[in-house]
Amino acid sequence: MILQEKKIFSKSGKPFTFRSADVDDAAQMIEYLNQISLDTPYLTNEPGEVTLSVDDEEKFLTRIKADARSLMLVVLHGDEIIGAANVNPVSSKPRMCHRCSIGISLKKPFWNEGIGSEMMKTLIKTATDVGFEQMELEVVVENERALALYKKFGFEICGRHPHDMKYKDGTYADVFLMVKAL
């Protein structure tokens, strides 16, 4: 899906651009994914684990852009990708096609600027516009900042998956399963 480009301003007045990720963003998206894995332990990749080739990322972004019910949103500050968010169908099966999964990430220097809220508003509008009835996500139990954002937008905890992730040091992280009716 292609999202119409829009400008937003952070709480501190900095300008940002929201738009669909494009094939030309592939190399920068890989750099972005590697950076955010350093910023927080709450994502699925350990630092250095993102080993996609630019060609693989280009193919992925092309597929997402061509899918009328999927979105890969990038947030730019100038020409730098500082955030990303996605909406994807849970399944194409008729009994499950009313559900979508979402994800949001943002580089640490841009936390607490209201950008996550703007991304969430965009995801909710996009999901509603293409006919999804329910949004779903997973969040690490200890990720209080993300939990507060999701609850602010009406997501409710519906389950817990113990030991969902295992870190290199041998510790585990549980995740909450959260849903929002649209």
Q: What's the CATH code of the domain at 106? A: 3.40.630.30
Residue 29 within any structural domain of the chain: yes
Q: Give me 22's structure tokens.
A: 């494009």
Residue 1 within any structural domain of the chain: no
Whole-number mean pLDDT of the chain? 96
Residue 39 within any structural domain of the chain: yes
What is the tens place of the pLDDT at every residue in 79-113? Answer: 999 999 999 999 999 999 999 999 999 999 999 99
Torsion of CA 107, 56, 134, 132, to 10 degrees: 120
Buried b (16+ CB within 10 A) or exposed e, 117-146: ebbbebbbebbeebebeebbbbbbbebeeb
What is the tens place of the pLDDT at every residue in 45-63? Answer: 988 889 999 999 999 999 9
Residue 33 within any structural domain of the chain: yes
Residue 106 within any structural domain of the chain: yes
What percent of the chain clears pLDDT 70, i.e. is strictly above it? 100
Backbone angles phi, psi at 81, to 5 degrees: -75, 120
- Contacts for 167 with CB less than 8 Å, ≥ 6 apart: 41, 46, 173
Tally of domains in the chain = 1
Residue 47 is predicted with a pLDDT of: 86
Burial class of 32 by CB neighbour count within 10 A (0 to 12, 13 to 18, 19+):
buried
Residue 40 within any structural domain of the chain: yes
For residues 127 and 135, is the Cβ–Cβ distance under 8 A? yes
- Find the domain containing 20 and state its range: 6-181
Mean pLDDT across 65-76: 97
